[in-house]
Structure 1
Amino acid sequence: MRVVSGLYRGQRLLAPEGLSVRPTSERARAAMADALTHRFGGGLEGLRVLDLFAGTGAVGLEFLSRGAAFACFVEQDSEARGALEHNLRRVPTTAQKIIPGDARDMSAYKNLGPFDLVFMDPPYGEAIITGLLAQLGTANILRHGGILVAESDAKEPIFEDVPGFTFLESRRYGRNCLHYYSA
């Protein structure tokens, strides 16, 4: 696994062995970054990014590589957080913060917002997305006009009607889907 494009292009990323962490594929990360570049009018430069259930940090690192000004990574699993810390040490950026803990507990990162872009990739099959979207919609963590992307298993339902968000589209990549929302 590696950073696909930008300043850190080709940088290899460490991921823990086993099934506890399921990094977003390079193909999906590249397509998402390209789609977001278009949605933000030509680039990701200067954006403040929140990466929830960050795992290895591959998504947030991809955004930093493409010019994001800051990335906050929230990860509860200690093994995944170890890989995330390792990966962040390998790139020359201080524009990041790691928050150890459950992404559903916003008290640890709410004051770092508002963010321009939120990405979340919760464990599949745990019905976390709908509840967390509702929380994020009322907490003003995402600035008005910002974009939220939620990754889910393709078999999970699409969450189109969420207070505080406008559903934009879903895109499928193998067995995964990326759902795009606007605040």
Structure 2
Amino acid sequence: MRIIGGSARGLHLAEVGTGDAKAHLRPTSDRVRESIFNLLINGGYGNPLQGARVLDVFAGTGALGLEAVSRGAASASFIENGAAGLALLKRNIALMRAKDRCEILRRDATKPGLNLGAAFDVVFLDPPYGKAMGEVALAALTPWLVPEALVIWEESLPPNPPSGFAQMDQRKYGDTLVTILKAPE
């Protein structure tokens, strides 16, 4: 697993092996990550990452948020509460030397509480597949988002977003379905 583009292009992140089934740790493959970022940058959204505040939910290794920072995001916050994911996340932030632009929020993504910082422009949502946790997390995180924030949601089945979210695009990559949503105004 590596950073695909931007200032940290080619940086190898901490090895995960096959993931951690018990912790539902299933890193996004390089191929899918590259497709997501190509779609964001070349899909008619302008460059939503430039200067953005990014939220990586169910962050695991943090590869999505770190890729966004490499490609111009001002900062990334990571919501993760699993021990395996937190250890990998800390290691990957250190490998990228991005501690000053990254924040780890050890929280349950389905019950995140209040956001004490500024709202987020772009959200990566990669919940455990087939558990309907993405729907619960996005509903709880809606107050954390700027109006019309972009949400990039990875799941195995079509998600059921909260009311007011508009689907902008949806693509299938193997067993991963990537859905791009726009938050309400």
- Is the TM-score greater than 0.5? yes
Q: Is the 8 Å Cα contact of residues 134 and 164 (structure 1) preserved in structure 2?
A: no
Gaps of 5+ in 1: none
* SS of corresponding position for 1:83: helix
Report the Cα distance in structure 2 between the residues aligned to 1:64 and 1:125, rounded to whole angstroms: 28
Alignment of 1:72-91 (within 5 A): 72-91=77-96
Structure 2 match to 1:36 = 40
Give the corresponding residue for 1:70.
Answer: 75
Q: Give 1:142's aligned amino acid.
A: L
**Matched residues in 1 for 2:47 and 2:141: separation?**
26
- TM-score, normalisation: structure 2: 0.88
Instruction: Between 42-51 and 31-40, report the one with greater CA deviation.
Output: 31-40
With the length of structure 1 as denominator, give the TM-score of the two structures: 0.89
Q: Quote the residue 1:157 is aligned against.
A: 158
Aligned-partner Cα distance in 1 for 2:141–2:92: 27
2:84 counterpart SS class: helix
Task: Give the C-alpha shift of residue 113 in structure 1.
Answer: 3.3
Aligned to 2:101: 95
Percent identical across equivalent pairs? Answer: 36
Counterpart of 1:112 in structure 2 is: 117
| Cα deviation, residue 43, structure 1 | 5.5
TM-fit CA distance, 1:48: 0.4
Say how many residue pairs are matched: 177
**Alpha carbons 2:81, 2:108 under 8 Å: kept:** yes
Q: Which structure 2 segments of 5+ residues have no match?
A: none
Which one-letter code corresponds to 1:67 in the other structure?
Answer: G
Matched-pair contact (CA < 8 Å) for 1:54–1:121 = yes
